Amino acid sequence: MERTFVMVKPDGVQRGLAGQIISRFETRGYKLMGLKLMQISRELAETHYGEHKGKGFFEPLVSYIISGPVVAMVLEGKDVIQGARDMMGATNPAKAAPGTIRATYGIDVGRNIIHGSDSAASAEREINLFFKPEELVSYTRDIDRWLYE
């Protein structure tokens, strides 16, 4: 089973969409391993988005991501890294496929509601950046036999 890091960004929280977004992942069958509301520090934001340092949108991106609380989560499931990214849709909501989270709730690339890890390496890095080991809970779910063959 894979794990990924997903975060409802400050616009999603401010607009009261956190519950609906978590619900989409739960309803699909992905398992919540960690979940918290938190305020990201500038330092954490700059580390998290380090790959974008030097790009024109870096400063606005950091300011956006620290502009209010986020809901951070770790999800587990078969192929969840790509699966969650597919549910989010393209980075720019204007280009995201209809029905995806970004197309359903957003309009502008600088307010695109959600983050999800883009590879196994980023998932591991981001999970460790945002969650302490004791904040992740391992448990069995009786419904798993109805989700997985």
Catalytic residue list contains 48: no
The residue from 45, 71, 81, 112 that contacts ligand IDP (CB under 6 A) is 112
130 closest CA partner among 4, 13, 2, 1: 4
Please tell me the count of residues contacting Mg ion according to CB under 5 A. 1
* Catalytic option among 11, 115, 123, 130: 115
Tokens of 40: 């990201």
Taking CB under 6 A as the rule, does residue 91 contact ligand IDP? yes
With helix as H, strand as E and coil as C, how does 43-98 read? HHHHHHCHHHCCCCCHHHHHHHHCCCCEEEEEEEECCHHHHHHHHHCCCCCCCCCC
The residue from 4, 115, 126, 131 that contacts ligand IDP (CB under 6 A) is 115
Within 86-145, the residues that bind Mg ion by CB under 5 A are 118
Residue closer to ligand IDP (CB basis): 20 or 67: 67
Residues making contact with ligand IDP (CB under 6 A): 52, 57, 61, 91, 109-110, 112, 115, 118
